[in-house]
Structure 1
Amino acid sequence: MKTRSLVAGAFAVLVAATLAACSGSGADSGDGAGVTLTYWASNQGASLDNDKEILTPELEKFTAKTGIKVKLEVVPWSDLTNNTLAAAVSGRGPDVLNIGNTNAVTFQSTGAFYAFDDAALTKLGGKDHFVESAFATAGKPGQPPTSLPLYSQVYALYYNKQQFAAAGLQPPATWEELISAAQKLTKPAENKWGVVIPGATVNASMHYSYIFSEQQGGSAFDADGKPTFTSQGMIDGVQQYVDLMSRYKVVNPSSAQYTEIGQAAGEFARGNAAMYLAQTSGINTLTQNGMKPDQYGIVPIPAPAGKTKISSFVAGSNISIFKNTKHLDAAIEFVKFMTSDEEQAILNKAYKSLPAVKGVESAIGDEPAKSEVFTKILGEQAKPLPLIPGIQAFQANVGGAVVKLIAKAATGAQVSSADVKAALDEAQQKMASAPK
């Protein structure tokens, strides 16, 4: 799942706004034949044009079935969040749109989105139609969700099969085994490294920090939604990540400059790193870099021995309806179509993502072994990010702090537990001024 920082000022305006333009009853006017829905689709494919190629025949299928036309606009992730905020404030936006699931609670708190009550969920097959961990991203617990899971992603550990075989190594099942393998495969004089990371990428740095802190029994927020960044589990989790470069030196220091995940993927694809931590969509990125599927395997990101086996957060895209749509019934029918078993199988196969509904088999790259691992991670070893409106501030502050720690480690300096605690304390202080 891809995420981008909110513009704080725009969010503050949104929360303060009365949203009068978005407070319509959602009354329908002539749903069915002749109705045209506007749909903002998030960029899931290799390009915006690739999304259009994938989605257009499916939308035509929907029109043939229902008589409802769909005007498609594919929106890049760099624009999607702010465009959605602007549409919520102005009341001028699409009928249906995709959102990054980490923003689900943020957008739910605006009041601008249609809430799927029990009657609406029944039309869509009920709550049990969806994979439990994916549905947990739909909104605040105890409230009707304002988004529903569409495409699911999880993190996994990608490893170079040839390099592991040549060294007589098996894929790591614990963090200690990962470190041991990385040390054996790191040969700086040959520009060969055990692990590659996108060290200057803020969102990925937050993702890794969350995963590792959950492994360590930490929690970024307490039950009241207050940040607990300086708890021991959070400190240990961040230390676990930073130690790859600081303590064990199995990461090329130059990766501290990688501001895009694709840069790390390129190093892995070229054989300069033996392991790479990436989401499901990493398969597409590796293909674009010329790496063939049979050259790498995947396993869950391992936890330290005796720690909690959390390998990922539940990433992906959800689908939502603006509350002020004039075609509510048609919009619900479209959501039903997009979350149907048939479409979930087609679209998730095309996007190399995981079906968000039960009973649909994953077909990532037509490789059953990889599909099985990703599906197991989503169902058994993934946990949603904190369900709070300030998730973007969490990303910016914790992710930014970890980027700075990685930059320090890249200079050859040791990053101590005290350094980690100080960085997280500063991030926690910044949360006080974050939009609620």
Structure 2
Amino acid sequence: MRRFRAAAAGAVTVSMLTAVTACGGGSSTGGGGSNDSPKTLTYWASNQGPSVEADKKILTPELKKFEKQTGTKVKLEVVPWSDLLNRILAATTSGQGPDVLNIGNTWSASLQATGALLPWDDKNFDKIGGRDRFVESALGSAGASTADPAAVPLYSMAYALYYNKKMFADAGISKPPATWDELVTDGKKISKNDKWALGAEGSNLSNNIHQVFVLAKQHGADFFDADGKPDFTSDGAVAAVKQYVDLMAKDKVVAPGNAEYAQNQSLQDFAKDKTAMVLWQTASATFKAHGMSDDEWGVAPVPVRSGTPGTGTATNSMVAGINMAVFKNTKNIDGATKFVKFMTSDGEQKILNKTYGSIPPVKAAQADPAFNSPALAVIKDTLAKSAAPLPQVSDESQFETAVGTAVKELFADAAGGRAVTTASVKAKLAKAQQQMPKK
């Protein structure tokens, strides 16, 4: 995740629960107090690879390895990103969920506040080798700083700009754009004859949030104030959302059809030479799955407004990643913590992160030379120098839903030929802010 409170600790707002219920409930099998077998665990994995089926093929041999070592069988379900947050929220209220699950690291504080997840205090960290095994920046996206982490880092990622070398050469472009102005200028050279410059996933709420969060940073703004209260209609936040949607509405470098994309379709277009660039987290495995060789694409930092990537207004990625959590009411807490220890062991971290093209949040595994390839070097450099964590506030998941939907609706306006103006953007963001829990 690619990838998704404090006001009422232990509860999620009624309005959010209503939305979740309408979208489908949690699992009725295993975990969450319903797993009576000490030799069985249920595990919800997030969709990290090119497809759910690909993830099953990647993870099943590793789970068999764990079963051989411990005698505990892991029942795997890979949950698509479009369903994952709603499934998790429903499970936190129903008690019917897995023993262990993956969560987008941006959701850590939201899910922490439900009280449903096992806190990772020093005692629990000691069971998996200690807190100091993990990169501190990854732990910074594992929950609110005022409490023990709600999850353990599993995969670390950052956004990068991936570009199709052939499409760039055909358009006479010799290097990837470093600024947004350069991207638009290059994009207009490419966007013709059914070819488009940049892919977007306009119906992917989490992806929308990730992009506009970064652009807001570049405009010197944030979506929450210093007290953690929503601030969606500031000039910088409005400018950020308008800039992102204008890539389709005004600049015409994103295909109108991308307004309906929600699950990796832009990556498929990229691999088929239909789109020249995508902003994505660790996309190499997906490119390969679609028949694209490594020498057909390049990778560069996400553009900034001017200068080079860095902190503050030169931020060019959110701190992306996947965390691993345990439901507190599991009846197999010993097996669950052993499974987390296995998945975050040095050996498994190397295997899984190499396969997915992500960076291990475990220090010893990250030292492996395999993570110094040119593509991963950009990601490591971004995480070290120019990425910022999304706000670890209790209402973060509601923020993703409300503002992500506002951006989705604005993309729909752009695709339908309706005007996207500063006023219309501000109105959508004001509506989104009204949907946030009142404190």
Q: Same fold (TM over 0.5)?
A: yes
Describe the superposition over 1:117-158 as per-residue Cα deviations: whole angstroms up to 9, x where unpaired: 122223434333222332112111120112111122322111
One of 4, 14, 17 as aligned partner of 1:9: 17
- Give the deviation of 1:79 after TM superposition: 4.5
Q: Does 1:243 align with 2:246?
A: yes
Q: Does 1:290 align with 2:298?
A: no
Quick one: structure 1 residues 169 and 198, their matched pair in 2 at CA, closer, same or farther if it must change by over 3 Å? same
- Give the deviation of 1:342 after TM superposition: 1.0
Q: Aligned-residue CA RMSD in angstroms?
A: 3.2
- Give the deviation of 1:72 after TM superposition: 2.1
Q: Alignment length, in residue pairs?
A: 414
* Residue number in structure 1 paired with 2:410: 405
- Higher mean alpha-carbon deviation, 267-276 vs 293-302, is at 267-276
Q: Distance in 1 between matches of 2:68 and 2:146?
A: 37
- Higher mean alpha-carbon deviation, 300-309 vs 209-218, is at 300-309
* Residue number in structure 2 paired with 1:135: 139
Question: What SS does structure 2 have at the residue aligned with 1:360?
Answer: helix
Q: Distance in 2 between matches of 1:408 and 1:142?
A: 41
One of 45, 61, 65 as aligned partner of 1:61: 65
Question: What SS does structure 2 have at the residue aligned with 1:134?
Answer: helix
Q: Answer whether contact 1:349 1:363 (CA < 8 A) is retained.
A: no
- Give the deviation of 1:104 after TM superposition: 1.6
* Residue number in structure 2 paired with 1:360: 365
Quick one: structure 1 residues 143 and 252, their matched pair in 2 at CA, closer, same or farther if it must change by over 3 Å? same
Q: Answer whether contact 1:156 1:278 (CA < 8 A) is retained.
A: yes
With structure 1 as the length reference, what TM-score do the two structures score? 0.84
Unmatched 5+ stretches in structure 2: 5-12, 22-30
Q: Distance in 1 between matches of 2:126 and 2:378?
A: 31
Q: Answer whether contact 2:197 2:254 (CA < 8 A) is retained.
A: yes
Q: Counterpart amino acid of 1:285?
A: T
Sequence identity (%): 45
Q: Does 1:373 align with 2:378?
A: yes
Q: Counterpart amino acid of 1:217?
A: G
Q: Distance in 1 between matches of 2:254 and 2:90?
A: 41
Q: Counterpart amino acid of 1:301?
A: V
Question: What SS does structure 1 have at the residue aligned with 2:186?
Answer: helix
Describe the superposition over 1:345-379 as per-residue Cα deviations: whole angstroms up to 9, x where unpaired: 00112223221222324889988111111222223
Residue correspondence of structure 1 range 20-419 to structure 2 within 5 A: 35-65=39-69, 67-77=70-80, 78-166=82-170, 167-187=172-192, 190-256=193-259, 258-280=260-282, 282-305=283-306, 308-361=313-366, 368-412=373-417, 414-419=419-424
Q: Distance in 2 between matches of 1:293 and 1:366?
A: 15
* Residue number in structure 2 paired with 1:18: none
Q: Answer whether contact 1:134 1:356 (CA < 8 A) is retained.
A: yes
- Give the deviation of 1:3 after TM superposition: 5.7
- Give the deviation of 1:116 after TM superposition: 1.1
Describe the superposition over 1:182-237 as per-residue Cα deviations: whole angstroms up to 9, x where unpaired: 123232xx122222222343332222111111121111011222110111221121
Q: Counterpart amino acid of 2:265?
A: Q
Q: Answer whether contact 1:51 1:74 (CA < 8 A) is retained.
A: no
Q: Distance in 1 between matches of 2:368 and 2:196?
A: 31
Question: What SS does structure 1 have at the residue aligned with 2:363?
Answer: coil
Q: Answer whether contact 2:142 2:150 (CA < 8 A) is retained.
A: yes
